[in-house]
Structure 1
Amino acid sequence: MLQLVEDDPWLQPYEANLQTRLDYFLQRTAEIDKNYGSIQNYALRHKELGFNYDKKLKGWHYREWAPAAKSLSLIGDFNKWDASKHPLSNVGNGIWELFISEKDGLKHLSQVKVKVESDHGFADKIPAYTKYAVQNPETHDFTACLWHPAEEFQWTDQKFNLKKIGAPLIYECHTGMAQEKEGVGTYAEFEKEVLPRVKALGYNCIQLMAVAEHPYYGSFGYHVSNFFAPSSRFGTPDELKSLINTAHNMGIAVIMDIVHSHAVKNEAEGLNNFDGSGHQYFHEGGKGYHEGWDSKLFDYGKEEVERFLLSNVRYWLEEFHFDGFRFDGVTSILYHHHGNGVGFDHYDKYFKDGVDWDSVRYLQLASTVAKSVKPDCILIAEDMSGMPGMCQPIEAGGLGFDYRLGMGIPDSWIKLLKHKADEDWKMDEIWNVLSNRRYKEKTIAYAESHDQAMVGDKTIAFWLMDKEMYWHMSKDDDNLVIDRGIAMHKMIRLVTASAGGEGYLNFFGNEFGHPEWLDFPREGNDWSYKYARRQWSLVDNKKLKYIYLNDFDKAMIKLLDKKIVLAAPAAQLINMDETNQVLIFERANLIFIFNFSPSNSIPDYKFWVPKKGKYKYVLNSDDKKFGGHGRVDEKVVHESFEENGENYLAIYAVNRAAFVLER
């Protein structure tokens, strides 16, 4: 019996499906081992296709997969864009190749394209494996740019040890909007100005969005065109390497938001219709198009597509020293219906209704490649379906990821904030959302990510305080709306981080209650960058209340890290009091106490504790330094007392406050 079924008896009727899933993967890996020697070799297609420099011959081998093409020619500034000068030869299996010497003028930063002839005529394309693409500032067209600097980037991160990271405390970031200026930030600016903030806050990991090149900035990086090219709008590949190198030397891991769920439909910049067939990298017809995303869908059953994507996984880990991935759109990958309008309310939905088994196998192969290249890498799945085994070993019947995103948690907070008055919040609803996760499958908890901060929604801070934030965030300005907002903001983040999973994620700036929303420059806002940035000056201004939230977040992250809270077993419920809206649980030998009531402060609030002894305060959200009211004396040590053979504590449980006690 598979371990996954042993762990979850409800899966017994589906054991044959799980075994078939595993066998399908094992059959593929056996074929790969037979034909290529290992899966690592299989994931080296970027060393065979695209531009690869030959030191002996002093030139480049350029190869392209284009099975339906009639001819290919390399064009660029080096040959004055003349297609007759450098035609490629068809060497079989859909592969075209050309060797081009340095003497022909091809060099570092040469701009190139490949002219593809198909049954539909000629089209100029960006090579599929290009490692750098640049945009013409006037025409906005993208062109491949040969990346071959005279000196390789010198890494100095050899002492960085990913094992020492422990439970990931993730600071989700977007390079372009990381600056306060109304414009696009760079890798160099991020390295200089944002990494020190991450270090000071105590986060041990950053998650970089929008890394791979994308033609439309407003896509947030999710409509990728060039999968092997870091976006040039933020700087050069070496500048991205420098950012990662510096992060590692600060003890900070860097994971990439990788998009293998779909690709931009643009034909000029991307893979779409590369060889003229209409279905080279993607499924044919409607199956290859995602209506909700207006993008193309990969055919994971094709070997060259599989190799392209698996090589992409290996490339980012090895070439840029990324420490893992947050796989975007996993639900869309897993199912033919992409999760659209489907309620995953029965196990049939995971095994019998619309599952794409080629896609499941691809994710298993991707996790295998990643772990073979960097065994300690962090793999996170953005899956809202709850596919069983997502974060279990493949041999146990799983897909081999480390964590799944707790996507239901931020949704639940937004629903509460939108639809229920504070006095109607139910502790069992909060607890059930935070504690509901699959056995042995780790979760990254988050109160809000970039999704909740986009135009059309609001950040938690804005749901709580809205327009009052514009006028009443000065420390000497008393305001009931702001007072409530700051108190609830701290509680929501602490209860989420401490009870919601085995890792924690924060979208940068939200830790200090960044006001307003995210909105990229677009036609609808006159191409404005006003909301595509982070206003660091707000938290740097010691006269404003943003610093309260920032300092609380710093103290919270420090506590989670120092006390190894997220690596401890799941939180254990101690007390749920709906009358007073008090929630108490234990984790990592700490007692977490939350009083969500808008009005009930309870002297001598009594509750059971698992161990007798003396308990001290290690975190208090009501501390004045965190914008609280200082109603609790943190110097007080609470000693347990016995009643009917059980141990109890009694504390002053003030309203809208959270406390953490340590024995």
Structure 2
Amino acid sequence: MEDSQKLALIREEQWLAEYEPQIQQRFDRYQEAIIGIDEFSGNILEYASNHNFYGIHFEVWRKGWVYREWAPAAKQLYFFGDFNDWDRRSHPMKKSGRGDWEIFLPFDQYKDSFLHGSKVKVHVIADNGELDRIPAYIRRVIQDEHTHDVAGQLWFAADFKWTDNSFSTKNSLKQPLIYECHVGMAQEKMGVGTYQEFEEFTLPRIKAAGYNTIQMMAIMEHPYYGSFGYHVSNFFAPTSRFGTPEELKSLVNKAHEMGIAVVMDIVHSHAIKNVNEGLNEFDGSQHQYFHPGEKGYHEAWDSKVFDYAKREVQQFLLSNIRYWLEEFHFDGFRFDGVTSIMYSHHGLFMDFDSVDLYFDDNVDEDAVLYLQLANTLIHTLKEENISIAEDMSGMPGLARTIADGGIGFDFRMAMGVPDFWIKTLKHKQDEEWDMFELWHQLTNRPQAERSIGYAESHDQALVGDQTLAFRLMKEQMYFSMSVLQQNLTVDRGIALHKLIRLVTLTLGGEGYLNFIGNEFGHPDWVDFPREGNNWSHQYAQRLWSLVDDPLLRYGQLDAWDKAIIKLATDYLLLAAAPAVQLHLDPDKKILAYERSGLIFVFSFHPTESFFGLAIQVPTAGKYKILLNSDEKEFSGFERLDQTISYPTDKHQCLQLYVPNRTVMVLKKV
């Protein structure tokens, strides 16, 4: 095949040349799948509309409610609940030839019993016995406070009045500045936060902070709060522990009014193994939604693994994507556990130190195809929708278009960056920091694929790990954060916290992510109520009072975060071409580079400041300091004079005074 006819991924990435057959086969398989979908359903939108068929719906033409369930291996299904006084046998469902079960409830007969807010279940008789289950496509699930019994809930609320028709995600797609958050732990109270509280109290903070996108965790219903939302039981139900579906819609609508895109953390990588709440063995078989046997069990996560090759599973998951985008106006998804999806070994205990590993027999090509179909659907529904992959394997083409030979995500998470910071802070003294390694770790990524850079996310905030702020300052955060006192540990920690976040923001990708509260150095880890902590909410909250207190240095870290996010916004830093290195001195711990016309000069030296340091810049002229981390408002020592202009000399160099542990951003006047 001539070069001009090859897929762009093969043509542009010479190191993949020997894997051309596998990449081409992946692309051909996708094209065949799309043809098959068109023949089966007409198009991918119709293919992804099972949620409008299965579940509970009012059919005007029949004047009543219909409930449908796919359970091919089941022997008998019965619909029951408040409407029939929980009689498990009075309402049998009828089975069709393709494994669908159905029951119709006429409006005239059930208008006084089949009501908004009443509870329902389905009784399934199958090879695994007689069990009460939650309908697979149910839109709302609630748990009894006293008995902890879980049931589906009928939800016939009036249509929500959206006012976000003019909202566009163009700014977020250009350079996503993402605020990762969790509704339940977003308030400063010893209890679970609500959608309403998040809209009223947290959204204004995010708007003021300058972020243009929020990434919402734990939206899909999950029975165990402490799972951070990653053990999903009911895929079409927004969790009721935070409030009603209308309150979630109101939150999204308000975010859009503020100009903020809303991305949902979607969990299609696995499902909870619970039989009472979830999909596991719904029709009595092991292989309805999941792989049978060992292949269907995720040992590390103690959960079930979807069979992505099965048409009904594809339709279930794709319909789930369409449902969240259309019903709740989400602007896209961050796909959790993409590494686990793509490989039969789930990426466990793997270093991915050979290109062969991206194309060997351990790659689940059915799962890769599913991800391609998911991205096709997301961008068919709305071209501006955003899709982000959480993958630690480095799969080539993950964030390239399918037409290029890729998998179709818009962005990939730069998961190696936070790992680099943890390794550096854990194992190296300040004087041992390697500037070459720092530059390499933050810039070494596929140039044709866009990445979301981040210094830390929720993963680093969890109990058992440590946030950057806590790694840097330890227990001194609890006792020595007053602006009225000085503490060497806190001084060092704050200085490095500021440097780490700005160098990651400007070098680490084409997007940036921060976890709620980490921008101001939230002092505590995240630990949800559980038996091991006596079901306490102490560490499942955000202490906003710390950042609001003018006598504490948390507010100064917050001011720095606002300043760097504004810098990125004003100069479209992450949408600009990659940074160009101007100066690197391993002994002085100096790193300087240019991006988007700005000059960044970092000193990571723990003790020494440098006078008359020569930094050659791309353009001759006068430069002024636009921003520097040593300002008092940012908890600095005011060693730099921002009123001074710096002319280039005959060698086109700036002669700078560079204090230790500072960064300055300069702009040509």
Tell me if both proteins adopt one fold, taking TM over 0.5 as the criterion.
yes
- Please state if 1:162 is matched with 2:140: no
Conserved? CA contact 2:55–2:136, under 8 Å: yes
What do residues 428-478 of structure 1 show as CA deviations (whole Å, max 9, x unaligned)?
111111001112000000000010011111100000001011111111011
- Please state if 1:432 is matched with 2:440: yes
- Please state if 1:562 is matched with 2:562: no
- Please state if 1:477 is matched with 2:491: no
Q: Distance in 2 between matches of 1:441 and 1:261?
A: 22
Conserved? CA contact 1:129–1:228, under 8 Å: yes
Q: Distance in 2 between matches of 1:164 and 1:282?
A: 38
1:59 shift after superposition: 2.0
Secondary structure of 2:615's match?
Answer: strand
Amino acid at match of 1:99: F
Match of 1:443 among 438, 451, 459: 451
Q: Distance in 2 between matches of 1:74 and 1:120?
A: 18
Amino acid at match of 2:74: A
- Please state if 1:81 is matched with 2:72: no
Secondary structure of 2:184's match?
Answer: coil
Conserved? CA contact 1:7–1:439, under 8 Å: no
Secondary structure of 1:183's match?
Answer: coil
What do residues 405-435 of structure 1 show as CA deviations (whole Å, max 9, x unaligned)?
0000001101111111111101011111100
- Please state if 1:302 is matched with 2:307: no
1:169 shift after superposition: 0.2
Residue number in structure 1 paired with 2:160: 153
What do residues 554-585 of structure 1 show as CA deviations (whole Å, max 9, x unaligned)?
00000001100000011111111001000111
Matches within 5 A, 1:158-197: 158-165=165-172, 166-197=174-205
Q: Distance in 1 between matches of 2:329 and 2:76?
A: 37
1:301 shift after superposition: 0.5
Q: Distance in 2 between matches of 1:303 and 1:606?
A: 63
1:589 shift after superposition: 0.6
Match of 2:581 among 565, 569, 573: 573
1:131 shift after superposition: 0.6
Residue number in structure 2 paired with 1:423: 431
Amino acid at match of 2:666: L
1:141 shift after superposition: 2.2
1:628 shift after superposition: 0.2
Residue number in structure 2 paired with 1:101: 106
Match of 2:543 among 504, 511, 535: 535
Q: Distance in 2 between matches of 1:434 and 1:59?
A: 59
Q: Distance in 1 between matches of 2:154 and 2:376?
A: 30
Match of 1:11 among 16, 21, 33: 16
Conserved? CA contact 2:183–2:242, under 8 Å: yes
Match of 2:516 among 508, 517, 537: 508
Match of 2:467 among 459, 465, 470: 459
Matches within 5 A, 1:384-395: 384-395=392-403
Residue number in structure 2 paired with 1:69: 74
1:147 shift after superposition: 1.4
Secondary structure of 2:583's match?
Answer: strand
Matches within 5 A, 1:326-365: 326-365=334-373
Runs of 5+ in structure 1 lacking a partner?
none
Conserved? CA contact 2:171–2:212, under 8 Å: no
What do residues 209-265 of structure 1 show as CA deviations (whole Å, max 9, x unaligned)?
000000000000000000000000000111000000000000000000000000000
Secondary structure of 1:155's match?
Answer: coil
Q: Distance in 1 between matches of 2:60 and 2:488?
A: 69
Residue number in structure 1 paired with 2:206: 198
**Share of identical aligned residues, percent?**
57
Conserved? CA contact 1:392–1:401, under 8 Å: yes
Residue number in structure 2 paired with 1:648: 653
Amino acid at match of 2:232: V
Amino acid at match of 2:662: A
Match of 1:376 among 372, 384, 390: 384
What do residues 370-417 of structure 1 show as CA deviations (whole Å, max 9, x unaligned)?
001121111100000000000111011100000000000001101111
Q: Distance in 2 between matches of 1:45 and 1:509?
A: 39
Match of 1:286 among 290, 294, 309: 294
1:617 shift after superposition: 1.3
1:84 shift after superposition: 2.5
Secondary structure of 2:573's match?
Answer: coil
Match of 2:553 among 527, 536, 545: 545
Residue number in structure 2 paired with 1:43: 48
Conserved? CA contact 1:622–1:632, under 8 Å: yes
Amino acid at match of 1:290: H
Q: Distance in 2 between matches of 1:483 and 1:474?
A: 11
Q: Distance in 2 between matches of 1:582 and 1:498?
A: 16
1:353 shift after superposition: 4.1
- Please state if 1:24 is matched with 2:29: yes
Secondary structure of 1:415's match?
Answer: helix
Q: Distance in 2 between matches of 1:47 and 1:341?
A: 41
Amino acid at match of 1:553: D
Matches within 5 A, 1:564-603: 564-603=572-611
Match of 1:214 among 210, 222, 241: 222
Q: Distance in 1 between matches of 2:459 and 2:655?
A: 40
Match of 1:634 among 637, 642, 646: 642
Amino acid at match of 1:398: G
Q: Distance in 1 between matches of 2:282 and 2:544?
A: 43
1:99 shift after superposition: 1.3
Amino acid at match of 1:304: E
Secondary structure of 1:17's match?
Answer: helix
What do residues 63-97 of structure 1 show as CA deviations (whole Å, max 9, x unaligned)?
10001000111110110111222211111211111
1:43 shift after superposition: 0.3
Q: Distance in 1 between matches of 2:504 and 2:170?
A: 24
Secondary structure of 1:591's match?
Answer: strand
Matched positions, count: 659
- State the TM-score, normalized to the length of structure 2: 0.98
1:146 shift after superposition: 1.2
Q: Distance in 2 between matches of 1:101 and 1:596?
A: 73
Q: Distance in 2 between matches of 1:393 and 1:366?
A: 12
What do residues 186-231 of structure 1 show as CA deviations (whole Å, max 9, x unaligned)?
0000000000000000000000000000000000000000000000
Secondary structure of 1:423's match?
Answer: helix
1:159 shift after superposition: 1.7
Q: Distance in 1 between matches of 2:346 and 2:521?
A: 33
Secondary structure of 1:642's match?
Answer: coil
Secondary structure of 1:268's match?
Answer: coil
Secondary structure of 2:660's match?
Answer: coil
Matches within 5 A, 1:185-264: 185-264=193-272
1:23 shift after superposition: 1.1
Secondary structure of 1:359's match?
Answer: helix
What RMSD in Å do the two structures reach over aligned CA positions? 0.8
Conserved? CA contact 2:218–2:229, under 8 Å: yes
Q: Distance in 1 between matches of 2:256 and 2:548?
A: 25
Q: Distance in 1 between matches of 2:353 and 2:254?
A: 45
Q: Distance in 2 between matches of 1:482 and 1:540?
A: 19
- Structure 1 stretches of at least 4 aligned residues deviating more than 6 Å after TM superposition: none
Higher alpha-carbon deviation: 322-331 or 160-169: 160-169
Runs of 5+ in structure 2 lacking a partner?
1-5
Conserved? CA contact 1:317–1:374, under 8 Å: no
Q: Distance in 2 between matches of 1:101 and 1:543?
A: 65
Q: Distance in 2 between matches of 1:180 and 1:384?
A: 33
Q: Distance in 1 between matches of 2:490 and 2:171?
A: 39
Match of 1:525 among 519, 533, 537: 533
